[in-house]
Amino acid sequence: MLHIKNLDEGLEVFKALGSEIRIQILKLLLENREMNMNELASGLGITNGALTSHMKKLEETGIVKVLTEHEGHGNQKLCRVNVDKILVEIESRETEGRKNIYNTEVNVGHYSDYEVYPTCGLATDTALVGEVDDPRYFAHPDRIKARILWFTKGYVEYRIPNLLPGATKIEQIALSLEIGSEAPGTNNDWPSDISFYLNDEKIGTWTSPGDYGDVRGIFTPDWWLPNWNQYGLLKMLVINREGTFVDGLKISDVDIERFHLDYKSSIRFKLQVEESARNIGGITIFGRGFGNYNQDIKVRIAYSQIE
């Protein structure tokens, strides 16, 4: 997912999409998953030179990824769509003019509590932590360096740093993270019901479509086995006065006011695959150095003064 936080930030993306020929390029790539430059130019009925300028615009905005493969007698440029969604935040009346924003980031391995069941494991960006499918290694000292973790069912819980200014209350919490399912090996069609909790209260469930391994993640290290999960989907979870949302779609009526959070509150965020879930397909959390987005769990908190 490409997350555009305001209209000014998205200007170049809007320009890139404001072309009929570039929309045709995206449609061809989505239909064929991956094409080289010659195939694209032929399919569009344009020259390679004309195609190059369009591809440059799409690549600069992150919508398309262009890879160079060394085959045969030369370099072949392969193209594929690099996003599954584009989320544009347009300030609502509730958040319009709000300047009180606190940003922080929680490393994937910095969980404060866990209970996991195989298949499971975790790794830094250079090596596995212990052995796979042994939950004991989730307590290993090196787990704080983990950049990826996975398990079939159970949970991990994170304590979000609360360093808000004094005499303030929390109006909205937004979390951005790259996640997917956890299948034996990989399976792009492997649904999993992933539930989210805030301070022990369930705020909603999102169903991950699969455990993606069809192509190597953009940032996934070379030592990572090719038959293991390669990338996830970037999801935006928001809880505000109107309820709880994933990528702008409401998943529950649980709202932020229910928690009475302020500058002194403990904030605990849990991701869980429940024993009673319809789709027990596990979870993989991708952090910096893995997947397609090179980030850990980003947190954005909007707050206001206590009156």
pLDDT digits (tens, 9 = 90+) for 157-199: 999 999 999 999 999 999 999 999 999 989 999 999 999 999 9
CATH number at residue 156: 2.60.120.260
pLDDT for the residue numbered 74: 55
Token pair recorded at residue 122: 């975790």
State the first-to-last Cα distance of the chain, in angstroms, to the nearest integer.
37
Handedness of CA 175, 181, 187, 191 (dihedral sign): negative
- Single out the residue in 61, 81, 101 at which a domain terminates: 81
Average pLDDT for residues 238-244, to the nearest whole number? 97
Between CA 84 and CA 114 the distance in angstroms is 30
Q: What is the pLDDT of residue 93?
A: 43
Query: Whole-angstrom Cα distance, residue 26 to residue 81?
Result: 7
Mean pLDDT check: name the lowest of 68-72, 121-125, 150-154, 286-290.
Answer: 68-72
What pLDDT is recorded for position 72? 53
State how far the Cα of 303 lies from the Cα of 164, in Å rounded to an integer: 8
Average pLDDT over residues 256-280: 97
Q: Is the pLDDT of residue 95 over 50?
A: no
Name the band, by pLDDT with cuts 50, 70 and 90, for residue 23.
very high
Residue-level pLDDT at 104: 96
Question: Model pTM?
Answer: 0.74
Euclidean distance between CA atoms 21 and 19, whole angstroms: 5
Average pLDDT for 198-225? 95
* 21 occurs within a structural domain: yes
Q: Above pLDDT 90, what percent of the chain?
A: 79
User: Domain check: are 77 and 210 in the same one?
Assistant: no
Higher pLDDT, 109 or 216: 109
Residue 92's pLDDT is what?
47
Split into its structural domains, the chain has a count of: 2
| Model confidence band, residue 253 (pLDDT cutoffs 50, 70, 90) | very high
- Is the predicted pLDDT of residue 225 greater than 90, yes or no? yes
Q: What is the pLDDT of residue 41?
A: 93
Q: Is the pLDDT of residue 13 over 80?
A: yes
Predicted confidence at residue 276, as pLDDT, reads: 96
Model pLDDT for residues 285-307, shown as the tens digit of each residue: 999 999 999 999 999 999 999 98
Provide the pLDDT for residue 249: 92
Two tokens, residue 120: 């499971």
Confidence check: pLDDT of 39 > 60 = yes
Q: Are 185 and 213 in contact (CB under 8 A)?
A: yes
CATH number at residue 30: 1.10.10.10
Predicted local confidence at residue 90, as pLDDT? 59
- Structural domain harbouring 125: 91-305
pLDDT confidence of residue 89: 67
CB 264 within 8 A of CB 154: no
* C-alpha distances out from residue 233 to 142, 146, 230, 241, Å: 26, 19, 11, 26
Task: Give the per-residue pLDDT at 76.
Answer: 77
Question: Are 17 and 144 within one domain?
Answer: no
Out of 59, 81, 103, pick the residue that ends a domain.
Answer: 81
Closest CA to 85 of 66, 63, 65: 63
Rounded Cα distance between 282 and 52, Å, is: 41
Whether the CB-CB separation of 202 and 218 falls below 8 Å is answered with no
What does the radius of gyration of the chain's CA atoms come to, in whole angstroms? 21
Same domain, 255 and 301: yes
The Cα 147–Cα 124 span in angstroms is 5
Q: What is the pLDDT of residue 11?
A: 86
pLDDT (0 to 100) of residue 71? 55
Q: Closest by alpha carbon to 195, among 260, 278, 112?
A: 278
Helix axes 20-32, 37-44, angle to 10 degrees: 120
pLDDT at 307: 82
Stretch 50-70: mean pLDDT, rounded? Answer: 88
Domain end point (choices 81, 112, 137): 81
- Provide CB contacts within 8 A for 225, sequence distance 6+: none
φ/ψ of 56, rounded to 5, equals -60, -40
Please check whether residues 237 and 179 belong to one and the same domain: yes
Decide if 296 is inside a domain.
yes
179/244 same-domain check? yes
State how far the Cα of 307 lies from the Cα of 291, in Å rounded to an integer.
43
